[in-house]
Structure 1
Amino acid sequence: MSGHPAIMICVGATKAGTSSLYRYLHDHPECHMRSVKEIHYFDTVDFDDYTHQFDVYARLRADLVGRQNIARNNGNLWKLANLERQIMDVDEIVRILELGEAGVPDYLFYLLDGIGEKKLAGDITPGYALLSETRLREMAAMAPDVRFVFLMRDPVDRLWSHVRMQATRQRREGEEVAVKARRILNRVVNRDLETHIPPRGDYAAIIEKLNRAVPDEKLMIGFTEELLTGEGLSRLCAFLGISPGRRVEAEPRAHEGIRLTLSDRQRREAAAFLAPQYAYVEKTFGRLPERWQANMARI
């Protein structure tokens, strides 16, 4: 590919190992990743989600400042400097978001600023999977070398992880997370509610859109269960133009959330609800990982 530093855009899927991917690339000597994993530039602009995103960054900044005060009181100079860098990154993202549609050049500068001789910069924002085909095509052409990655985790596991995350965020005082999670799952698979959750794991729609918008050689789609370990990690690094680094744990668990077990009935219902996703991925990519096959057998 080109002699320019590559830009990687990871568009998800939500709860499919993107935090583990971020940590891997952040620690890789040939990668330049900013301290904020999810920049949310394009989805904020396209969906006019400024109020929400500014609030998210305001809360993040306040948390960082609070942690910085603790580090200052403890005399932890390394942590103090690291938190200052994170605060500066948040402030810069907010400034870019304030530019709206005109902020693309500043967004690119932000990704590449300080890259030096490193080969890859990146933005890992699962929300980008919901962008239009037109926007994805524009992103693919915004720099000389833009490469897209999409991770597919077993649909039932991904959905249940997403549901647990929503339950934790939405839980009211005195409400049990386990009860909240099972209610949300029921609304998704049996009542056609919580309609913001299924599109994040609609592999068929997302992959078809990516295939139309992004050149084949610039797009990598892989199974979470395989791509972040062993030979899969080597293939990912080769696609990104970097040398294979350290191995990651067999089952990435960054931001795993509270651990709750699905009952057999709930797992069967979720698998039946997600049957079209299993069928599409199997038809498109062939043999499924063992974890997928185990859940698919419940359909």
Structure 2
Amino acid sequence: MRKSTQKYKVFLLGVGAQKAGTSWLHEQLHRRQDADFGFCKEYHILDAMTLPQFEHFRPTHAAPWKWRTWRRRRFLTDSSRYFDYFSRLLNKSSIQLTGDITPSYSCLSPETMAWVRQEFDQRNIATRVVFLMRDPVERILSQQRMKLRKLGELQPDMERNHLLRTAHKLKQQSSQRSDYLHTLKALSQAFAPTDLFIELYERLFTEPVYEQLCSHLMVPYQQPNWSHRVNESRSTTDLPDDVLASIGESQAAVYRGVADQLPELDLCRHWPTASRWCR
């Protein structure tokens, strides 16, 4: 039987979703005096270690030497170093909270998630999960805009054409990072409900929800910087209905599944784009 988590320090396992406020959340928590998230936001250890599609996050020996790369390589060579690293951060008397917020952890298997919980249990550390979901249509649009911005191609015509190609690809094969149903199922198999904080990106930037988050992480509420959004991608053009409809069609099963499982989140209200196209 697990000991009372009230006596534990806390490891935050952030499992996404991508483009759903995880960078903002990391920034708010890492600046706290009672938190230390170490040298990364996205460590990409658990995904690179267990999922073939994320092996590209494994540093190669040919890569330029950097301290962070060297340390990540050591974590991947011996997973105990990963868990011991966060345990050492929490050994500081002033630190109550640490964590790894890597959105692609949303793709982890329930077995991997349970393994993480067990490793920290053995170190007398409570694992608390945070999973933030964003309107699946808006999430895909934001992700694609980010890609175009990095390429210097975030212009109306390029955005339309790129999204048309994306919509076609999504019809052929769904995006793993958008598969909220997989993540919800894996979390329910690996963790107790009290270990989970499942919320919407669209509700995150409110005091009641952020207070609940702090309580979940067993740290006192501290006013975040509401005005600063990290890596936010806004639309540069009005998208044709056929593009939105095509993307919406690809996300319909996800939308309906989340609505059925979590009716209290009121998706029709908070995911207006998805509710328009995903029925």
Question: C-alpha offsets along residues 146-186 of structure 1, whole Å, 9 cap, x if unaligned?
Answer: 111110011111111112233345x4xxx733455434432
The secondary structure found in structure 1 opposite 2:271 is helix
For residue 51 of structure 2, the aligned residue among 5, 30, 47 is 47
5 Å-filtered alignment, 1:245-264, equals 245-249=222-226, 253-257=229-233, 259-264=235-240
- 1:283 counterpart residue number: 260
Report the Cα distance in structure 1 between the residues aligned to 2:240 and 2:186, rounded to whole angstroms.
Answer: 34
- 1:292 counterpart residue number: 271
The secondary structure found in structure 1 opposite 2:39 is coil
- 2:72 counterpart residue number: 93
- 1:72 counterpart residue number: none
Question: C-alpha offsets along residues 222-280 of structure 1, whole Å, 9 cap, x if unaligned?
Answer: 11111342100000110110111113426x63112474334141333322332222222
Tell me: CA distance 1:207–1:262, structure 2 relative to 1, closer, same or farther (3 Å). Answer: farther
Question: C-alpha offsets along residues 104-156 of structure 1, whole Å, 9 cap, x if unaligned?
Answer: 22101222334312111100011111122211121122112111111001111
The secondary structure found in structure 2 opposite 1:190 is helix
- 2:137 counterpart residue number: 156
Q: Could you say what the CA RMSD is over the residues aligned between the two structures, in angstroms? A: 2.8
**TM-score normalised according to structure 2 size:** 0.82
The secondary structure found in structure 1 opposite 2:7 is coil
Q: CA deviation at 1:212?
A: 1.4
- 1:111 counterpart residue number: 86
Moved over 6 A (4+): none
Question: C-alpha offsets along residues 86-107 of structure 1, whole Å, 9 cap, x if unaligned?
Answer: x64443223222x1xxx22210
Q: Does 1:26 align with 2:33?
A: no
Count matched residues: 263
CA contact (8 A) 1:187 1:194 kept: no
5 Å-filtered alignment, 1:1-299, equals 1-48=5-52, 49-50=54-55, 52-54=57-59, 58=63, 88-97=67-76, 99=77, 103-115=78-90, 116-117=92-93, 118-144=95-121, 145-168=126-149, 171=151, 176-178=153-155, 179-192=157-170, 195=173, 198-249=175-226, 253-257=229-233, 259-265=235-241, 266-286=243-263, 287-288=266-267, 290-299=269-278
Percentage identity across aligned positions?
26
Tell me: CA distance 1:39–1:199, structure 2 relative to 1, closer, same or farther (3 Å). Answer: same
Structure 1 stretches of 5 or more lacking a match? 62-86
Which is worse superposed, 121-130 or 111-120?
Answer: 111-120
CA contact (8 A) 1:229 1:248 kept: no
**TM-score normalised according to structure 1 size:** 0.77
Matched AA of 2:48 = T
Report the Cα distance in structure 1 between the residues aligned to 2:275 and 2:262, rounded to whole angstroms.
Answer: 15
